Amino acid sequence: MENYQKSKTVEKPSPLPFTNLPSDIIEMKVKDGSKIRNLMGYAIGKMESEAVRQVLFSGAGKAISKTITCVEIMKRRLQNLHQITKVFFRQTEEIWEPIVPEAGLDSLTVKRNIPAICVLLSKDPLDAQEPGYQAPGSFDAFWLETLKSSESQGQAKRKQGGGRGAAHARKLPRSGRREDSYKKP
């Protein structure tokens, strides 16, 4: 590829993985360089009004993690939001031209499938049978259940004597090293 340079990148239009979306839906297209503060200021401002009932966040490639962050912030700020998440691929084409056209090299077209995500958040109930559906508060319920089970396992270990007792505890000096490896100068 040292004899080629990228001349252009074309993103193939792909339809959204959701059907029957209202025409007035707020669509937030998250890019890699988007500022979360700007995205959230606009989206939360719109969703706080009674007229707007749904918002759609979408992002591809490096913007996927930023898209998920925006969705989680929105769910924390506005309670009781229903969620459907869809993961798919967007196809892009890169066209590479030879640096020296007289060298007898042809232009190259490279097709790439870029992972993408779309998350629909709604104030109104959505189809619970839809793959990727999350009910309001289901995330918190999962972590509360996980916390309870880990606490009960810890209590069972302590009753059996499987935990570290005082005989195993070692005092750490201020430097953070163990006493037995700490040598005075």
Q: Residues 108, 96: contact at Cβ < 8 Å?
A: yes
Task: Decide if 184 is inside a domain.
Answer: no
Instruction: Give me the percent of the chain exceeding a pLDDT of 90.
Output: 56
SS3 112: strand
pLDDT for the residue 92:
93
Closest alpha carbon to 21 in 68, 67, 56: 56
Task: Decide if 15 is inside a domain.
Answer: yes
pLDDT tens, 8-24? 999 888 888 888 888 88
pLDDT for the residue 127:
92
pLDDT for the residue 101:
78
> Residue 181: pLDDT band by 50, 70, 90 thresholds?
low
Task: Decide if 171 is inside a domain.
Answer: no
Q: Residues 126, 120: contact at Cβ < 8 Å?
A: yes
Task: Decide if 49 is inside a domain.
Answer: yes
Rounded to whole angstroms, how far apart are CA atoms 68 and 60?
11
Task: Decide if 163 is inside a domain.
Answer: no
Number of domains in the chain: 1
The CATH number covering residue 107 comes to 3.30.110.20
pLDDT for the residue 11:
87
Average pLDDT for the chain = 84
Phi, psi dihedral angles at 182 (to 5 degrees): -90, 125
pLDDT tens, 26-48? 999 999 999 999 999 999 999 99
Q: CA torsion sign, 163 to 166 to 172 to 177?
A: negative
Give the number of residues written for the chain.
185
Structural domain of 131 = 4-137
- pLDDT at 54 exceeding the cut of 80: yes
Rounded to whole angstroms, how far apart are CA atoms 95 and 10?
8
Lowest mean pLDDT segment, chosen from 1-10, 115-124, 173-182: 173-182
Alpha carbon 105 to chain centroid distance? 41
Phi, psi dihedral angles at 112 (to 5 degrees): -125, 145
Give the residue-averaged pLDDT of 111-127: 95
Rounded to whole angstroms, how far apart are CA atoms 131 and 129?
6
Task: Decide if 167 is inside a domain.
Answer: no
pLDDT tens, 145-175? 777 777 777 776 666 765 555 444 555 555 5
State in Å, rounded, how far the first CA of the chain is from the last one.
58
pLDDT for the residue 151:
79
SS3 68: helix
pLDDT for the residue 169:
52
pLDDT for the residue 123:
94
Task: Decide if 143 is inside a domain.
Answer: no
Task: Decide if 112 is inside a domain.
Answer: yes
pLDDT for the residue 175:
56
